[in-house]
Every structure is written in structure tokens, then in C-alpha cells.
Amino acid sequence: QAWESSVNNPLNPLFFQLWQAWESSVCNPLNLLFSQLWQAWESSVYNPLKPLFFQQWQAWESSVNNPLNPLFSQLWQAWKSSVNNPLNPLFSQLWQAWESSVNNPRMNPLS
């Protein structure tokens, strides 16, 4: 009885529904769409087997934007302590000084 009602039983209607769903599925290697997607993947930059992937990966590894690159850490620390960092208290002081400065076009009555 368990086998008769089992999804694995080819005589069970549910088996046929699942089989038809599988046949038209993108994951089915016999499906034409699977073949198209596979070919697209094979020629894709994101395919680790492609030389272009390795070139881009190596470029990324040595990139300043890669958080695992020591240079990224140095630049990040420099930014954190930078005057241009709005989270730095010195930025706030300089901004307030600029706002009330004669060099600020909004404060200069001659401009």
C-alpha cells in the first residue's frame, strides 16, 4: 500500500505529474532550454573554467576595492581618520567653520 501510493510508483498519477514537470524543467539535461542555459554559462565571464574569469578574479584580488587586500585596509583606516569623512569629529568642526566663514558665498555680502 505504501508503494502503491508512493511518488516513485509509475502507476501513481502523481508520478506522471512529477515526471512531466521534470521533463519540462530547466534542470533536466534533456530539455532544450537546459542546453541553451548551459551554453550561455559555459561562455559566461562567471564560469570559473573560463580564462576571462581568472583574469577578472586576479584583477579583483589585487584591487583596492577587495576588503582582503591589505591596501584596502590601509585606505579604509586613512579614510576613517580623514578630514573628508563626515563621521570624523574634525569634519564637523571644519564644516561649521566653513559655514560661518567669509569664504562661504552664502555668508559673503559682497557676492
- Positive or negative, the Cα torsion across 93, 99, 100, 102? positive
pLDDT value of position 110: 65
In whole angstroms, what separates CA 25 from the centre of its chain?
27
Distance between start and end Cα atoms, the chain: 93
What span, in angstroms and rounded, lies between the C-alpha atoms of 94 and 3? 78
pLDDT value of position 108: 66
pLDDT value of position 92: 87
| pLDDT tens per residue, range 24-33 | 888 888 888 8
pTM given for the model: 0.36
pLDDT value of position 111: 54
| pLDDT tens per residue, range 33-71 | 898 998 998 888 888 888 888 888 899 888 988 998 999
